[in-house]
Chains A and B, each alone.
Chain A
């Protein structure tokens, strides 16, 4: 599930603070957002597990897979798709990285 791009980009973080293989929970405009750096590709997801809304930044990211530690559901970090179980999906926010490394997210 993705929300539409509204063009309301907001600064979320700097790429220097989100290394490859890392994820970080941030708050943007009152919304909890999970930022993930997958081999240089940055993604922004709603920081809530689709299962029972647990905060995903308390979980684990091994470079490829995000694991929610509450009941160990797993998600592909690039696509946000559930891998186990495979019939769920993270909520995606549009996200891009500026040339200077600023990570912008559109949560509207």
Chain B
């Protein structure tokens, strides 16, 4: 009898979580983790924050110390790509030419930054990997004028870090309000205010249409004809899922590798998890792809459960954070309408939670410097509850009290 082998493709947190949880659930066959980056799995959030600032070192955000993989008999192949999947033959081909048979295959290939055609070169940065962040960190040290293209989370976090390093920062974004696409105009404006108060120039409704390298920097031209000189450009305009490997093998993809609530792709014994997975969510009744750390961890862990024989649908609430300056921005759930939010607390004081409320049910909360509210909402989001906008606004009533945790708790309250 041969031992079973699970192959995990992609060296991010999702694949690492699958490996961890396969062992936790008692899988004692072979685990091969193949990642094309040179390092063992690590967490990406610090790459646009503390790591850029130089206040944390790489070792501190590795998912596991390198010795762990040996201890757990996880065959870690770093710096190696999976180049093809043979679905009927149940094997993958590696960039080394080796073929590996699998009993279960997990695709956790993540996403890559979307590139702006013509925006390349020594002093143009895209940020996804530790190597990207190291390169940016080194160049920031010798730059003064930084331009960020795209006011998404990564752009805003890099801007905050660059300001923290004493740089002069300008953000361009074609939208009228930065971050409005993800946070709505109200909270987008609050975040814009925070960046402006730190000295960041925000050029909303304006984008860079041309980049020219000059002797000692770059000359950018905006769609409005404005010219800006700078030493360094960071492009943060979103990501594209790494679906090619799956698509070429004939797996269903649709803006991500399509999986059901158990993480199963359209091919037998092949799963997908993390940023690359477009997963059917049983609570929402539709397929959703999210690019958040916590989701990648949980989906990775969930796939391990399903690979070890206990079918468990993935029905978790989506939660994320973004740390900018000293501010903690967090959200849980999926807002129904970002322009229709109930505010608890004070926008001016940067101390609030904004609720998306539909028919007495909370759909989501976005909080600035109120992580506790997010925790409370996360607990009850998918549980029965009924609240009014007035109750949410009234700070004299603790959220916990509004939200019956169990029938027993209601009876007692």
Give residues in A with beta carbon < 8 Å to B: 52, 58-60, 67, 69-72, 85-87
Known contacts A69-B372, A71-B321, A72-B319; 17 additional CB pairs below 8 A are A52-B50, A58-B371, A58-B372, A59-B372, A60-B372, A60-B375, A67-B375, A69-B375, A70-B321, A70-B328, A70-B371, A72-B294, A72-B375, A85-B63, A87-B64, A87-B65, A87-B68
Q: List 21 A-B contacts (CB under 8 A).
A: A52-B50, A58-B371, A59-B372, A59-B375, A60-B372, A60-B375, A69-B372, A69-B374, A69-B375, A70-B321, A70-B328, A70-B371, A71-B321, A72-B294, A72-B319, A72-B375, A85-B63, A86-B20, A87-B64, A87-B65, A87-B68
User: Does A69 contact B64, Cβ atoms closer than 8 Å?
Assistant: no
| A interface SS class | loop
Q: How far is the CA of A71 from the CA of B375 in the complex (A)?
A: 10
Residue of B nearest to A67 (CB): B375
Residue of A nearest to B62 (CB): A87
Q: How far is the CA of A21 from the CA of B222 in the complex (A)?
A: 58
Name the B residues within 8 Å of A52 (CB-CB): 50
Q: How far is the CA of A71 from the CA of B61 in the complex (A)?
A: 13
Residue of A nearest to B373 (CB): A69
Total A-B contacts with CB atoms under 8 angstroms apart: 24
Residue of A nearest to B56 (CB): A52
Residue of B nearest to A69 (CB): B371
Name the A residues within 8 Å of B68 (CB-CB): 87
Name the A residues within 8 Å of B371 (CB-CB): 58, 69-70
Residue of A nearest to B371 (CB): A69
B interface residues, tally (CB under 8 Å): 14
Q: How far is the CA of A67 from the CA of B378 in the complex (A)?
A: 12
Q: How far is the CA of A69 from the CA of B371 in the complex (A)?
A: 6
Name the B residues within 8 Å of A86 (CB-CB): 20
Q: How far is the CA of A59 from the CA of B375 in the complex (A)?
A: 9
Name the B residues within 8 Å of A60 (CB-CB): 372, 375
Identify which of A59, A72, A86, A87 gathers the most chain B CB atoms within 10 Å of its CB: A72
Residues 49-68 of chain B: 1 if any A CB is under 8 Å from the residue's CB, otherwise 0? 01000000000000111001
Name the B residues within 8 Å of A67 (CB-CB): 375
Q: How far is the CA of A72 from the CA of B292 in the complex (A)?
A: 14
Min CB distance B368 to A, Å, is 13
Q: How far is the CA of A59 from the CA of B372 in the complex (A)?
A: 7
Name the A residues within 8 Å of B63 (CB-CB): 85
Q: How far is the CA of A29 from the CA of B372 in the complex (A)?
A: 28
Identify which of A58, A59, A87 gathers the most chain B CB atoms within 10 Å of its CB: A87
Q: How far is the CA of A86 from the CA of B65 in the complex (A)?
A: 12
Residue of A nearest to B328 (CB): A70
In the complex, which residues 117-132 of chain B have their Cβ closer than 8 Å to any Cβ of chain A? none
Name the B residues within 8 Å of A70 (CB-CB): 321, 328, 371
Q: How far is the CA of A60 from the CA of B377 in the complex (A)?
A: 13
Min CB distance B369 to A, Å, is 11
Q: How far is the CA of A87 from the CA of B20 in the complex (A)?
A: 11
Q: How far is the CA of A98 from the CA of B404 in the complex (A)?
A: 37
Name the A residues within 8 Å of B50 (CB-CB): 52
Identify which of A59, A71, A85 gathers the most chain B CB atoms within 10 Å of its CB: A71
Q: How far is the CA of A60 from the CA of B319 in the complex (A)?
A: 17
Q: How far is the CA of A7 from the CA of B63 in the complex (A)?
A: 37
Name the B residues within 8 Å of A71 (CB-CB): 321
Residue of A nearest to B65 (CB): A87
A-B pairs, 8 with minimum CB distance = A69-B371, A69-B375, A69-B372, A60-B375, A71-B321, A70-B371, A70-B328, A67-B375
Name the B residues within 8 Å of A72 (CB-CB): 294, 319, 375
Name the A residues within 8 Å of B321 (CB-CB): 70-71
Min CB distance A36 to B, Å, is 17
Name the B residues within 8 Å of A58 (CB-CB): 371-372
Residue of A nearest to B64 (CB): A87
Min CB distance B80 to A, Å, is 25
Name the A residues within 8 Å of B20 (CB-CB): 86
Q: How far is the CA of A52 from the CA of B321 in the complex (A)?
A: 14
Residue of A nearest to B372 (CB): A69
Name the A residues within 8 Å of B65 (CB-CB): 87
Q: How far is the CA of A60 from the CA of B372 in the complex (A)?
A: 8
Min CB distance B44 to A, Å, is 13
Residue of A nearest to B321 (CB): A71
Min CB distance A11 to B, Å, is 29
Q: How far is the CA of A104 from the CA of B375 in the complex (A)?
A: 31
Q: How far is the CA of A67 from the CA of B375 in the complex (A)?
A: 9
Min CB distance B389 to A, Å, is 24
